């Protein structure tokens, strides 16, 4: 149900508020390029900087703009379980197809705590839940054996965005859960090897800019055209690396501005891309053939 390429959508700002004119343009471009899903208010969407009212309104607007043409997976994770439940119920009421639940950050729960947290969230809603394991940002790693235990407790945890960076751990997760859990890469830089170990797609940063190009990697691999998938992946790889010259979403927002989609405006504590890295990003975009505004 959640295989393919899903865009971790940026949140465009203008003069401190969400730029809904730019949002319309971004969603239209994604739908036209036949993206499989849109993921508002994950890491790339700067979710920690939005108020509850902004969070609720943004998800409602995205659902309305998409109009059922692609899936909408709303980021509703939090480090307080009751907050994650409230955000998830609001997103369910807005009509999303699933929610994305990041590991609770800062408070560093144990594995038993992680299981209890995600179980409580999953049981509070009727729609599917996609887990999001990114230890580099949250300070805690949700381990394969714990994920398997969670799947034994709830029915609506259906997929995981895996961004641990540990390919061996990802293999163990696939070995333990197999088709019970759709594995989605959380890192554009490892998309090809991720597909080779059992992955079914990606929640991508780069697909904000190049949705159809990222889709080609997954489509070619699914068709058994491994050589074509490899060629497309390695063509994209310099741009994948450029998207992480600084903390995500700083580079992708700069790239989207250079391509004419929206402002590169961020909310503190994130600050604009340095001049040195902006030049590197621009060079990578031009080398790939991205048209600049």
Confidence of residue 229 (pLDDT cuts 50, 70, 90): very high
Structural contact between residues 10 and 42, judged by C-beta atoms closer than 8 angstroms: no
Does residue 106 have a pLDDT over 90? Answer: yes
Confidence of residue 292 (pLDDT cuts 50, 70, 90): very high
Spatial distance between the Cα atoms of 263 and 13, rounded to a whole number of angstroms: 7
Q: Indicate the CATH number for domain 4-223.
A: 3.20.20.70
Spatial distance between the Cα atoms of 50 and 267, rounded to a whole number of angstroms: 9
- Domain positions in the chain are 4-223
Tens digits of per-residue pLDDT, 280-290? 999 999 999 99
Structural contact between residues 101 and 161, judged by C-beta atoms closer than 8 angstroms: no
Spatial distance between the Cα atoms of 168 and 184, rounded to a whole number of angstroms: 15
97 exposure class (CB count in 10 Å sphere: 0-12, 13-18, 19+): buried
pLDDT for 130 = 98
Q: Which two tokens stand for residue 279?
A: 């030049």
Does residue 123 have a pLDDT over 90? Answer: yes
User: Does 105 participate in catalysis according to the annotation?
Assistant: no
Please give the C-alpha separations between residue 155 and each of 66, 74, 102, 125, in angstroms, as whole numbers: 27, 19, 18, 11
Helix (H, G, I), strand (E, B) or coil at 8: strand
φ/ψ of 154, rounded to 5, equals -135, 155
pLDDT for 199 = 97
pTM for the whole thing?
0.97
pLDDT for 189 = 97
In our burial notation (b when 16+ CB lie closer than 10 A, e otherwise), range 196-225 reads: ebbbbbbbbbbbbbbbebbbbbbbbbeeee
Identify the active-site residue in 132, 215, 216, 261: 132
Confidence of residue 68 (pLDDT cuts 50, 70, 90): very high
Give the list of residues 6+ apart from residue 45 with CB closer than 8 angstroms, or none. Answer: 8, 9, 10, 11, 39, 75, 249
Identify the active-site residue in 161, 200, 216, 253: 161
**Average per-residue pLDDT in the chain?**
97
Spatial distance between the Cα atoms of 188 and 201, rounded to a whole number of angstroms: 10
Confidence of residue 208 (pLDDT cuts 50, 70, 90): very high
pLDDT for 1 = 86
Q: Which two tokens stand for residue 200?
A: 């079914």
Tens digits of per-residue pLDDT, 142-185? 999 999 999 999 999 999 999 999 999 999 999 999 989 999 99
- Mean pLDDT along residues 249-263: 98
Helix extents (H) in 154-274 = 167-177, 191-196, 211-222, 226-242, 250-258
- How remote is the C-alpha of 216 from its chain's centroid? 18
Please give the C-alpha separations between residue 53 and each of 6, 50, 60, 199, 277, in angstroms, as whole numbers: 25, 8, 11, 35, 34
User: Does 132 participate in catalysis according to the annotation?
Assistant: yes
């Amino acid at each position: 149900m959640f295989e393919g390429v899903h865009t971790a959508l940026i949140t465009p700002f203008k003069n401190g508020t969400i730029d809904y004119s730019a949002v319309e343009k971004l969603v239209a471009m994604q739908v036209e390029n036949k993206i499989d899903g849109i993921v508002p208010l994950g890491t790339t969407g700067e979710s920690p900087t939005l108020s509850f009212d902004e969070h609720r309104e943004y998800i409602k607007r995205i659902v309305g703009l998409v109009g059922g043409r692609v899936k909408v997976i709303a980021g509703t994770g939090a480090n307080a379980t009751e907050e994650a439940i409230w955000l998830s119920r609001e997103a369910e009421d807005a009509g999303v197809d699933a929610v994305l639940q990041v590991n609770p950050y800062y408070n560093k729960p144990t594995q038993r705590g992680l299981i209890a947290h995600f179980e409580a969230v999953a049981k509070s809603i009727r729609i599917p839940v996609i887990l999001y394991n990114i230890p580099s940002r949250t300070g805690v790693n949700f381990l394969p054996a714990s994920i398997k235990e969670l799947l034994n407790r709830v029915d609506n945890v259906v997929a995981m965005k895996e961004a641990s960076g540990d390919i061996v751990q990802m293999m163990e997760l696939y070995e333990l859960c197999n088709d019970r859990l759709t594995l989605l890469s959380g890192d554009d830089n490892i998309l090809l090897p991720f597909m080779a170990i059992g992955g079914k797609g990606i929640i991508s940063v780069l697909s904000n800019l190049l949705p159809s190009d990222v889709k080609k990697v997954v489509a070619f691999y699914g068709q058994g055209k491994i050589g074509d998938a490899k060629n497309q992946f390695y063509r994209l790889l310099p741009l994948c690396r450029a998207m992480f010259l600084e903390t995500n979403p700083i580079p992708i927002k700069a790239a989207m501005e250079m391509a004419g989609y929206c402002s590169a405006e961020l909310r503190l504590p994130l600050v604009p891309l340095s001049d040195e890295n902006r030049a590197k990003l621009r060079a990578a975009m031009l080398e790939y053939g991205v048209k600049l505004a």
